[in-house]
Structure 1
Amino acid sequence: MEIRRFDARSATDDELRQLHRITVANQAITRPNEPAPTFDQYVGRLLHPVPGFGKPTRWVAVADDRIVAWTTMFSPEAENPHLTIVEQLVVESSARRRGIGTQLLRTFLPELIAEGRTTIEFWAVTAGGSGESWAHHHGFRATHAVQVQELGTRQVDPARWEVEPPPGYRLVSWRGRCPDDLVESFAVARTAIKDAPLGASEFHFAEWTVARVRAAEAELAEAGIENRVCVAVAHGTVVALTMVELHPHRRDWAYQNDTAVLAEHRGHGLGRCIKAAMTRSLVAELPELRSVRTQTSTSNVHMIATNHALGYTDVRIQIVLTHDVRALARTLGGQRA
């Protein structure tokens, strides 16, 4: 078996189809009630990864000239130079229980140590699935849980989204670049997401500045991702915000990103108001849209209830699994591949 780096941009069509086949088969087991991505959608995701977490690094395991396992990881900077995030580690069902996933881990851990990464976290692991069991076997501990929710835009009564702003607030929306007169207070409001619970995950939210806002906008634009924003403004200052991403390979689908309200303006229903306004505009302007996906910490019962009020339904619970990089390397060093 050979383990090597994998670059989606230079991969052959056959290699990409092998990855897609493995992923679809795995999803049928871990997420049986969710539609699998088409080949084009899957490749689009590979070529347009979510910005903000650093460039992805991918590895594949090849046996008999066929890809049998692969993984994607991100190594963010700024507040998280200690952390590597593993988005997925997938092994073909017929190749499981042969130590291939373990060998993938063993191969890339030395690079993480050389880079000074001290913590590794698996994100988006389906709670109660085989991935969680495998990770626990290697000493990973569950540190956070999120509720994945979805809004079927064609199945929900639009009256749920008719929410007026409370007195003293007005709504402002834009695509892409934040207006210059709001960008400073928008950066402050984005930092309010730090109040969102993260459990014991070692990921740290960003400290937003005007420069970082502009850099993030540029990164999204370069990736071909349309970023839509709706904010609540009081006395010329942004006090609440919600953001949605539209990816070029999934025009029927939107990702509801951060929603944050400054502490002194909470309790007025602003989160529900701006999310409702965002949903109205998405449905009115995107006739091909079918669903909006989001995720919220399971301990954030208020936001989960807000989403329910707008018509979101619960899809599954995902967990974050965390381990010390050097401790994991020592453990795997004593195991057979």
Structure 2
Amino acid sequence: MTEQLEISSLQLPNNLTDSDAADFLEAGLLLDQIRLETWGNRDRISDPETRLVSWRQNDYSRLEVFLGKLGGKIVALSWISLPLHDNLHTGFMSVCVAAEHRKRGYGQLMLETVEKYAAAQGRSVLMSSTEHPADFDPATIAVLEPKSGTGAIPQFDAGVRFSLRHGYQLEQVERFSELRLPIEGAHLEELLRAAEAKAGTDYRLEFWQDRCPERLAESFAVANSRMSTDIPSAGLAVEAETWDIKRLRDMEQRFIEAGHRIDVCAAVHVPSGQIAAYTYFDYNQKKPQLISQEDTLVIREHRGKRLGMLVKAANVRRIQEELPQLEKAITWNAAENDHMLAINIELGFAPAGYDGEWQKDLRKGPANEQLDSD
């Protein structure tokens, strides 16, 4: 007989040394364990300080974490992130169970908990993600293609089967890529010179660390808004995000509180003074050899001028000079985002894995009552 799971909400501590931080730290260890099982390294694992900052509620999102305990020990959890400013019909959620406690129905129970909570908060669409190392050959195993028609993930992966059983549809596949650093100098300069020649004199580069200069802050906020509309999102039910300077400063402050360094390169359109493209790196000094390539966007009206390569190559050159200890960069791209993928491939990024992006309309019913493999 399966032992009864005790489910409760996580109460976040004020800091990691508080007497009530034990559950938060234990929940993090479970998440870390599962990521290590999947990837075999800590590249995609958050440190506790970063996790605590990112899990705190702010004006734009709120996270609810549910713990599943046996005998006082956390063996399963689910969480949901709820947008508070826009996309108020959605939530992004995840469910995980410790390896030794799987196939007992605990995943089902944690999913039911998070789905019922989402519905009570007025959310009708839930999204989720599964992670898959690039160690499979689509020619030799069964794969599942997303509704977007581009990319594929292993069809019989446990997370894929769980998602399908419970009514989630695969909308999109993202390619997770790695770049070995440093990029050879001559190759980088060649890419940069070619991009500069294509862009011409109508664009100039601006660099900053952590906080956007006030003179560009409004334009950068607008560019962040466009990030939610100008990149491929397949059939995911996402609406445009509205950014202003307050939202921008809030994001910057959370990075600073987590101890991260943000290095931004933007291409400014000289005639208008507005940002036409930008990219940024997220550097966590607790992982001194690793850097994460985050958002890159060329605003639609300025495409076709190699601005994506211009800002990326310039930012790589800058970061290699300032952080010579770097050995690897990681990034994500929608599989159908041909133009940005082509830029990354030219820089030297190679596939390391794939993330499946899933979606479910809760109005079509709760999680299925199938417990055998959860």
Stretch of structure 1 that moved more, 226-235 or 310-319: 226-235
The Cα shift of 1:274 comes to 0.6
1:184 aligns with 2:189: no
Residue 219 of structure 1 deviates from its aligned partner by: 3.6
Q: Note if contact 2:61-2:85 (Cα within 8 Å) is conserved in structure 1.
A: no
Structure-2-length-normalised TM-score: 0.79
| 2:9 alignment partner in structure 1 | 5
Mean Cα deviation higher: 251-260 or 42-51: 42-51
Give the whole-Å Cα distance in 2 for the aligned partners of 1:312 and 1:18: 32
Offset of residue 36 of structure 1: 3.2
Q: Give the aligned partner of residue 116 of structure 1.
A: 122
Give the superposed CA RMSD. 2.8
TM-fit CA distance, 1:12: 5.0
Across the two proteins, how many residue pairs are aligned to each other? 329
Structure-1-length-normalised TM-score: 0.86
Counterpart residue number, 1:250: 287
1:46 aligns with 51
Mapped partners of 2:205, 2:61: distance in 1: 32
Q: What displacement does 1:146 show? A: 0.7
Shift of 1:38: 10
Alignment of 1:1-337 (within 5 A): 1-7=5-11, 9=13, 12=21, 16=25, 19-20=28-29, 22-31=30-39, 34-36=40-42, 42-49=47-54, 54-86=61-93, 88-126=94-132, 127-128=153-154, 129-154=157-182, 156-162=183-189, 163-164=192-193, 165=196, 166-168=199-201, 169-193=203-227, 194-235=229-270, 236-247=273-284, 249-329=286-366, 331-332=367-368
Contact map agreement 1:161 1:280 (CA 8 A) in 2: yes
User: Displacement of 1:271 after TM fit?
Assistant: 0.5
Q: How far is the alpha carbon of 1:318 from its aligned partner?
A: 0.6
Whole-Å separation in 1 of the counterparts to 2:210 and 2:290:
18
CA distance in 2, matches of 1:219, 1:134: 33
8 Å Cα contact 1:85/1:121 also seen in 2: yes
Identical aligned residues as a percent? 27
- Structure 2 unpaired stretches of 5+: 133-152
* CA offset digits 1:274-321 (Å, max 9, x no partner): 111111121211233332211111000111110011111111111111
- Of 176-185 and 132-141, more deviation after overlay is shown by 176-185
CA–CA distance in 2 between the matches of 1:324 and 1:182?
Answer: 39
List per-residue Cα deviations over 1:228-259 (Å, max 9, x = no partner). Answer: 21111232332111122223543432221211
Return closer, same or farther for 1:37/1:217 CA change in 2, 3 Å cut-off. closer
1:210–1:14 distance in 2 versus 1, CA, 3 Å: closer
Deviations 1:44-80 (A, max 9, x none): 3422328986232222211133221122321112221
DSSP 3-state at the match of 1:181: helix
Per-residue deviation, 1:159: 3.0
Aligned mates of 2:69, 2:55 — CA distance in 1:
26
Q: Which amino acid counterpart does residue 102 of structure 2 have in structure 1? A: R
Partner SS for 1:190:
helix
1:296–1:37 Cα change, 3 Å: closer
Q: Is the 8 A contact 1:142 1:322 kept in 2?
A: yes
Give the Cα separation in 2 of the matches to 1:61 and 1:6.
10
Give 5+ residue unaligned stretches, structure 1: none
Task: List per-residue Cα deviations over 1:87-129 (Å, max 9, x = no partner).
Answer: x422111211111011011223332222111111112443322
